[in-house]
């Protein structure tokens, strides 16, 4: 079972790099366990073809992947315009809206995605939904300024959510993000209008960013259990 999930993730990671990455590009490198396969493919192509790309990280983890893999690290002040951002997701709805931040990295991920011409998502079959909240049951990750977390939990309840302060695993107390903030995981059940919900949450003072990525993804690869690939592509009107 676990092995099938890893095979599915790898399939998605390789497909995204092979379809979208070209020599000379500036790339966003997302975070999480699926992105690792995309980075491994980049490293492979760098060695095999002499591919040269600049990689903009979205977290401490992705910085480590870039540096340890011998890839060229850049930042947004040097490269404010990114060609392609490859990232993971916790859930994807039928309109390619995403829940992200299961690993706590949503703020830098959203900044990088916002400044990318294309956002390509790599995922496995468990993430493919019609409606956000259908499969991802841990709530929407929301990065907040620490001093505001209690009033914000009350505000989330007023919006109809059940908020939980995310706790660290090997330390007593809250998880601290790469940016020094807390994460609230807020369960809103199945979300029929993620755009509206995102706007309401972003109006609350003390909210830094939400894990709802609305209308940002261009293409999503879902690796399947049988080793094949499924895809969702943004509709252009
Ligand atoms: O904070 C973490 C990121 O948003 C990840 O991209 C997301 O949680 C998916 O991670 P994984 O590929 O490990 O399921």
Q: Using the atom order of ligand 1, give the atom closest to the CA of residue 122.
A: 12
* Cα atoms in the 13 Å half-sphere on the side-chain side of 74: 19
Q: Residue 206 has which token pair?
A: 């003390």
Residues 53-65, mean pLDDT to the nearest whole number: 98
**pLDDT at position 235, please?**
79
pLDDT tens-digit map of 36-50: 999 999 999 999 999
To which H or E segment does residue 157 belong?
helix 149-158
Using alpha carbons, list the distances in angstroms from residue 178 to 108, 175, 181, 186: 9, 10, 8, 20
Domains and CATH numbers, the chain: 2-129+214-227 (3.40.50.1360), 140-210 (3.30.70.260)
Q: How confident is the model at residue 1 (pLDDT cuts 50, 70, 90)?
A: low
* Pocket-forming residues, ligand 1, beta carbon under 6 Å: 30-34, 87-90, 100-106, 109
Catalytic positions, written as ranges: 109
Say how far apart CA 92 and CA 222 lie, in whole Å: 10
- For the stretch 142-198, pLDDT in tens is 999 999 999 999 999 999 999 999 999 999 999 999 999 999 999 999 999 999 999
ipTM of model? 0.99
Element (H, E) at 164: strand 162-165
Return d(Cα 231, Cα 15) in angstroms, integer: 10
pLDDT over 90 at 97, yes or no: yes
Q: Please answer whether residues 155 and 202 qualify as being in contact, where contact means their C-beta atoms are separated by less than 8 angstroms.
A: no
Q: What is the pLDDT of residues 62-92, one digit of tens each?
A: 999 999 999 999 999 999 999 999 999 999 9
Atom of ligand 1 nearest to the CA of 9: 12
């Amino acid at each position: 079972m676990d092995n099938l999930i890893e095979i599915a993730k790898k399939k998605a990671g390789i497909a995204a790099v092979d379809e979208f990455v070209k020599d000379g590009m500036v790339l966003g490198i997302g975070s999480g366990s699926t992105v690792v396969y995309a980075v491994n493919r980049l490293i492979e192509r760098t060695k095999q073809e002499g591919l040269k790309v600049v990689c903009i990280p979205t977290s401490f983890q992705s910085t480590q992947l870039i540096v340890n893999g011998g890839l060229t690290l850049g930042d947004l002040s040097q490269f404010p315009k990114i060609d392609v951002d490859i990232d993971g997701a916790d859930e994807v709805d039928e309109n390619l809206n995403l829940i992200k931040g299961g690993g706590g990295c949503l703020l830098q991920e959203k900044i990088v995605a916002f400044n990318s011409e294309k956002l390509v998502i790599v995922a496995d079959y468990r993430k493919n939904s019609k409606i956000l909240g259908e499969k991802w049951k841990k709530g929407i990750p929301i990065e907040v300024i620490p001093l505001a977390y209690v009033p914000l939990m009350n505000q989330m309840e007023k919006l109809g959510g059940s908020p939980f302060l995310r706790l660290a695993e090997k330390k007593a107390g809250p998880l601290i993000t790469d940016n020094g903030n807390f994460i609230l995981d807020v369960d809103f059940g199945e979300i029929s209008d993620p755009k509206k919900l995102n706007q309401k949450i972003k109006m609350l003072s003390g909210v830094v960013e939400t894990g709802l990525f609305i209308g940002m993804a261009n293409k999503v690869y879902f690796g399947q259990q049988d080793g094949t690939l499924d895809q969702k592509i943004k509709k252009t009107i």
